Amino acid sequence: MKLYTFTGASPAEALRKAQSACGKDAIVISTKELKKRSLNSPALYEVVVATEEDYLKKENEASTKAFHSPPSSNDDVVLNLSNQAKKLAKSIPPDREPILSKIKEEENNLNYKELEENLNRLNQKLNNLQEILWQERLTKKEELLIPPEFAKIYNITQKSGMAKEHIDEIMRNTLKHMPPYMKSDPKAIERYFSVLLKKMIPIRVEQKLARGEKRIIMLVGPTGVGKTTTLAKLAARYSFLEFNYKVGIISLDSYRIGAHEQLYAYASMMKLPLEEVIDSQDFTRALNALSYCDIILIDTVGSSQYDKEKIYKIAKLVESGNRKIDVNLVVSAPTKLEDLRDIYKNFSLFKLDTLIVTKFDETNSFGNIFSLSLESSLPFSYFSTGQEVPDDLMVANSDFLIESILKGFKSKEVADA
C-alpha cells in the first residue's frame, strides 16, 4: 500500500487532485486544514490517499471472471455477486464515508459563503443605483419625481387637503434623510412619514392652574364654527369633568338672535355665573364681577373673516379690560385651506395663542388643518369631535391628528371598539 499527499484551497480541490492522479478508487486516509484563509492568501487543506495496485488488480480480475464465466445455476450467480460485494466492502476503510461527507459539507459551506458575498455586493450596487435615482429626483426643483414606493403616501396627503408646497417639502426631507434600507418598504415609509409629520405638529399641553393662578380664555372665529358649543364643553371640563375650578362665563355675542339664550341654557344646567357685555364699560364690570372665579370663559360674536370692522371693534373691546387674555382661534375642519388662511390673517389682530378645531365628524380631510398650523406656528389646544355637550371634546393630540390625516376620522367609540 502506497500513501500520497495532495493539497488545495479546499478539501474538495485536494480530493479532485488525488482522484486525478491516483484514480477514483484511491482510498482517503485523512484530511486536515493546514492554514486558515486570510485577506491576502487562500486557505490550504491536505488530503492523504492510499492505493493498492496489486490487490485491486487481483480483485478486478476475479470480479471480471465471476461476471463473464458461465454459471452453473442461478444460485451460483447470486452467490458470486454476494461474495464480490463483501470483498469490495472490506477493501474500503470504515472511516472513509464520514470523511467524504465532511468534505462535501465543507464544499457546500464554501459555495454558500461565496453566493452570500455575491448577493451582498449586488444589493450594495442596487442601493447605490437607487440613491443616484433619488438624488436626481431631489435636484429637479421644478417638479418633484415621486418613487413608486412613495406614491401611496403622497396620494393620501394630496387628497387630505394639505398644501402642495408642504407635501413636496416633507417628501424631499423624507427622501433625503430616510435610511436606504427602508425606502423599498411601503409600510416602513408610512411609519417614517407619520413620525415626521408628528414632529411638525405643535401641541399646547393642558396644564393645571398653579395655586392662586387665574386664567381668562376667549374664543374667537368666524360665524358657524361652533364657538358657543365649544365654550360650553370647556366650561363643563373645567368645572366638573376633569377639574374642579370655579368657572364664570362672559358673552359678547349679543348680535346673534338666540345666542344669549343658548349660552344661558348651558350656564343654568351647569350652575355657572353668566355676564352679558355690550360695551367696554360692561366688559370691565363683568371681569370684576367674576374676579373670584379661577377661569373666565369669553364667548365672542361670530364674524365673517372679511368683516374687518367688526373684528376690530371686538379687539378694542377686549383691550379695554386691560387683562391678560388667552385667545383661541376656533376653526372648523371642513373649511378649505384658502379660507383658513384668510381667517388666520384677519383674526391675527387678537394676538392669537392657540387653535381649536371643531367639526371633526363632518369631514375626512385634515391636511388643511395641518398646513394652517405649519404656516401660522399656532399650537393646537383642543379638538371638538361632535355636537354632544359636554362629551365630544378632547385635548389636542398629534397622534390622533396624524391618524385622521392618513386614515380618516374615527369617533372615540369606533377607535375603542
| Residue written as grid cell 461474495 | 83
**What is the per-residue DSSP string for 309-322?**
HHHHHHHHHHHTT-
Q: What is the pLDDT averaged over residues 191-219?
A: 91
For residue 111, what pLDDT is reported?
64
Identify whether 390 is preceded by a cis peptide bond (ω within 30 of 0). yes
- Name the band, by pLDDT with cuts 50, 70 and 90, for residue 412: low
Return left, alpha or beta for 185; rule: phi > 0 is left, psi -120 to 50 is alpha, else beta.
Answer: beta
Q: Running DSSP on this structure, what letter comes out for residue 238?
A: I
Q: Taking the CA atoms of 222, 324, 245 and 401 in sequence, report the sign of the dihedral they define.
A: positive
Asked whether the predicted pLDDT for residue 240 surpasses 80, the reply is: yes
Retrieve residue 62's grid coordinates: 476475479
State the chain's mean pLDDT as an integer.
79
How far apart CA 247 and CA 22 sit, in angstroms, is 104
How far apart CA 380 and CA 392 sit, in angstroms, is 16
Q: Which amino acid does the sequence have at 290?
A: L
Residues 342-387: tens digit of each pLDDT: 999 999 988 899 999 999 999 999 999 999 999 999 999 999 998 8
How far apart CA 99 and CA 80 sit, in angstroms, is 30
Which one, of 307, 303, 354, lies nearest residue 326 by Cα?
354
> Against a cut of 0.75, is the pTM above it?
no
How far apart CA 68 and CA 26 sit, in angstroms, is 26
Q: What is the pLDDT averaged over residues 129-134?
A: 52
Asked whether the predicted pLDDT for residue 288 surpasses 50, the reply is: yes
Q: Does domain 215-416 have CATH number 3.40.50.300?
A: yes
- Higher-confidence residue of 128 and 32: namely 32
For residue 74, what pLDDT is reported?
46
Question: Are residues 160 and 364 in contact, defined by beta-carbon separation less than 8 angstroms?
Answer: no
Spell out the domain ranges in the chain: 2-114, 140-200, 215-416
Asked whether the predicted pLDDT for residue 400 surpasses 90, the reply is: yes
Strands 380-384 and 393-395: antiparallel
Question: Are residues 215 and 252 in contact, defined by beta-carbon separation less than 8 angstroms?
Answer: no
Element (H, E) at 385: none
Q: What is the pLDDT averaged over residues 223-227?
A: 91
Retrieve residue 221's grid coordinates: 372665529
